[in-house]
């Protein structure tokens, strides 16, 4: 089965510019997550979707970050305007509802560098 | 802030030796999971242990959970060079599969 797809894999922008990341989850996975992983740290959840509804966005910096999953499949995460501290890997993950192992399947991530 | 903290931050062993990583967390949990991350890649789920379980095995992996001490350990037996990666524990507090990841242990297995 195809895994979680993310694009682009790498992005370099200047501070105050905007950037968008795209995620295509595994087919049939209703739950989608966006994580931010700063170098040397574990992933931090930014937002969780169940189909096209938001389950948890308590750690999303809403003044500059936004995410949507309009049709309950693909999702985009946007940063506008970017700050230097946004440099990180942005990971998308998806999962099946009622999976007894509650496994999250991660994409390869988008590595963002803000100069 | 991160929910879990792994210990040690880095571990280097010879191939064939066992590797033990520890995870401590702060609040009550529904379950605890361990993930592996190879350099430059996404995370891969290894094993889940529920709050009412004390020990679980999967192949060369053994996970223990002590809810009274709010800690877990991951043991990898007979390590291989391919086990070189970062290992993260992640806790689910809410039951909604909303995971809080620790800071990770970077394991290096020397051939």
| Per-residue pLDDT, B93 | 78
Q: What is the Cα B109 distance to its own chain's centre? A: 16
Query: How far, in Å, CA of A90 to CA of A83, rounded?
Result: 15
What pLDDT band is residue B1 in, cutting at 50, 70 and 90? very low
Question: Testing the interface with A: which of B91, B99, B100, B106 to mutate, by most A Cβ within 10 A?
Answer: B99
Express as a percent the part of chain A with pLDDT over 90. Answer: 83
Q: CA B54 → CA B31, B38, B64, B71, distances in Å? A: 11, 27, 5, 11
pLDDT: which is higher, B98 or B99: B99
Of A45, A103, A107, the CB nearest to B45: A103
For residues A86-97, give the mean pLDDT.
94
For residues A13-28, give the mean pLDDT.
96
For residues B13-19, give the mean pLDDT.
97
pLDDT above 80 (res B91): yes
The model's pLDDT over A31-78, given as tens digits with 9 standing for 90+, comes to 999 999 999 899 999 999 998 899 999 999 999 999 999 888 999 999
Question: Testing the interface with B: which of A6, A37, A42 to mutate, by most B Cβ within 10 A?
Answer: A42
For residues A75-101, give the mean pLDDT.
92
For residues B45-60, give the mean pLDDT.
95
Nearest CA in chain A to B102: A42
Do B88 and A106 make contact, defined as CB atoms within 8 angstroms? no
Q: For chain B, give the secondary structure using H, E and C.
A: CCCEEEECCEEEEECCCCEEEEEEECCCCCEEEEEEECCCCCEEEEEEEECCCCEEEECCEEEEEECCCCEEEEEECCCCHHHCEEEEEEEECCCCCCEEECCCEEEEEEC
Q: What is the CA radius of gyration of chain A?
A: 13
Do A101 and B45 make contact, defined as CB atoms within 8 angstroms? yes
Given CB atoms, is B2 within the 8 Å cutoff of chain A?
Answer: yes
């Amino acid at each position: 089965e195809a895994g979680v797809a993310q694009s682009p894999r790498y992005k370099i922008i200047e501070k105050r510019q905007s950037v968008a990341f795209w995620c295509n989850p595994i087919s049939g996975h209703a739950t989608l997550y966006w994580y931010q992983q700063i170098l040397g740290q574990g992933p931090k959840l930014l937002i969780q979707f169940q189909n096209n509804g938001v389950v948890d966005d308590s750690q999303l910096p809403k003044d500059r970050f936004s995410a949507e999953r309009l049709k309950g499949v693909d999702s985009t995460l946007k940063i506008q305007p970017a700050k230097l501290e946004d440099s990180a890997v942005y990971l998308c993950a998806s999962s099946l509802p009622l999976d007894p192992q509650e496994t999250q399947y991660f994409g390869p991530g988008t590595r963002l560098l803000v100069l | 802030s991160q929910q879990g903290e792994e210990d040690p931050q880095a571990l280097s062993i010879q191939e064939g030796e066992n590797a033990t990583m520890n995870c401590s967390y702060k609040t009550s949990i529904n379950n605890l999971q361990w993930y592996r991350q190879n350099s430059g890649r996404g995370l891969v789920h290894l094993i889940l242990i529920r709050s009412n379980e004390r020990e679980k095995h999967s192949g060369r992996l053994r996970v223990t959970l002590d809810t009274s001490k709010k800690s877990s350990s991951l043991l990898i037996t007979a390590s291989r060079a391919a086990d070189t990666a970062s290992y993260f524990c992640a806790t689910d507090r809410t039951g909604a599969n909303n995971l809080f990841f620790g800071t990770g242990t970077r394991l290096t297995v020397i051939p």
